[in-house]
Amino acid sequence: MSDKVKSPAVHSRENKPAKGKRRIKHYNNRHRILLVGEGDFSFSTCLARAFGWAANMVATSLNSEDFLVKNYENALPNIVELGIRKCKVMHEIDATVMASHEFLGGIKFDRIIFNFPFAGFFSNLSGDAKLRRHRRLVSLFLKNAKEMLSENGEIHISHKTNGVHAEWKLESMASSHGLVLVEAVDFKLHHYPGYNTKRGFGGDENFNCYPSKTYKFGLKC
């Protein structure tokens, strides 16, 4: 750990397994939770703080730890705090093939979370080509997440609902993979204290995530 990075203040009482159920919005400390596509790991850290103890969580990013630390000011402090709270942090995890990962592929999760999936910036591509790339990312994620889902588990995708984002057609993609929409609820940033919406390809500025919803998908009966 760099000498410039201080360990986050984590009260010892919080850094122990909770005796009762602790929750934040759609999630509780009894869920086995997988998070993919994390930016500065602020969403994972928000959940971990709410639970106190986060041994029920696996938080992953597509990028390397080195990339994250160079691009996001709070990435390293968040990663350190997650480790203190016993969350397993993993880097260079591709959500489109994660079901075959030697560690992750053997686990069934109750909640699999992908906030604001985005396939990247492609200035030389047409609008239709960009849309196809985004939809392919989500489709492959859903295919893999389904294989890793517990019987009564849910896949959560938070996604903007205006403009071109509405053309991603999440529900039809989920249905094509044998998943059903459980519900779609408005996403509110204030429900997740400390969460910062970061772009996955560098830059430490937050993006405007409104209007958006959290889509919850489950296995078809």
CATH of the domain at 30: 3.40.50.150
Residue 86 has pLDDT above 60, yes or no: yes
pLDDT score for 16: 56
Residue 59 has pLDDT above 60, yes or no: yes
pLDDT score for 35: 99
In 48-147 the beta strands, taken as DSSP E runs, fall at 57-60, 88-90, 109-115
**How far is 170 from 216, CA to CA, in rounded Å?**
10
In the chain the beta strands, taken as DSSP E runs, fall at 23-24, 27-28, 33-36, 57-60, 88-90, 109-115, 149-160, 179-186, 212-219
pLDDT score for 205: 77
Mean pLDDT of 111-133: 85
**How far is 116 from 214, CA to CA, in rounded Å?**
9
In a domain, 211, yes or no: yes
Which residues fall within 8 angstroms of residue 124, CB to CB, at 6 or more apart?
none
pLDDT score for 17: 58
More confident residue, 217 or 16: 217
H or E element: which one contains 49?
Answer: helix 42-51
Q: What are the residues facing 149 on neighbouring strands?
A: 109
Nearest to 61, CA basis, from 43, 85, 48: 43
The mean pLDDT of the chain is 89
In a domain, 17, yes or no: no
pLDDT score for 105: 93
H or E element: which one contains 131?
Answer: helix 127-147
Mean pLDDT of 196-209: 75
Within 10 Å of residue 199's Cβ, how many Cβ atoms?
Answer: 17
Q: What is the extent of the structural domain holding 204? A: 25-219
In a domain, 16, yes or no: no
In a domain, 13, yes or no: no
In a domain, 88, yes or no: yes
Based on the structure, what is the number of domains in the chain? 1
Within 10 Å of residue 4's Cβ, how many Cβ atoms?
Answer: 6
Mean pLDDT of 80-93: 99
Residue 63 has pLDDT above 90, yes or no: yes
pLDDT score for 131: 87
pLDDT band (50, 70, 90) for residue 188: very high
Nearest to 154, CA basis, from 177, 185, 191, 183: 183
In a domain, 20, yes or no: no
- How many helices (H) and strands (E) the chain has is answered by 5, 9
What's the gap between Cα 203 and its chain centre?
18
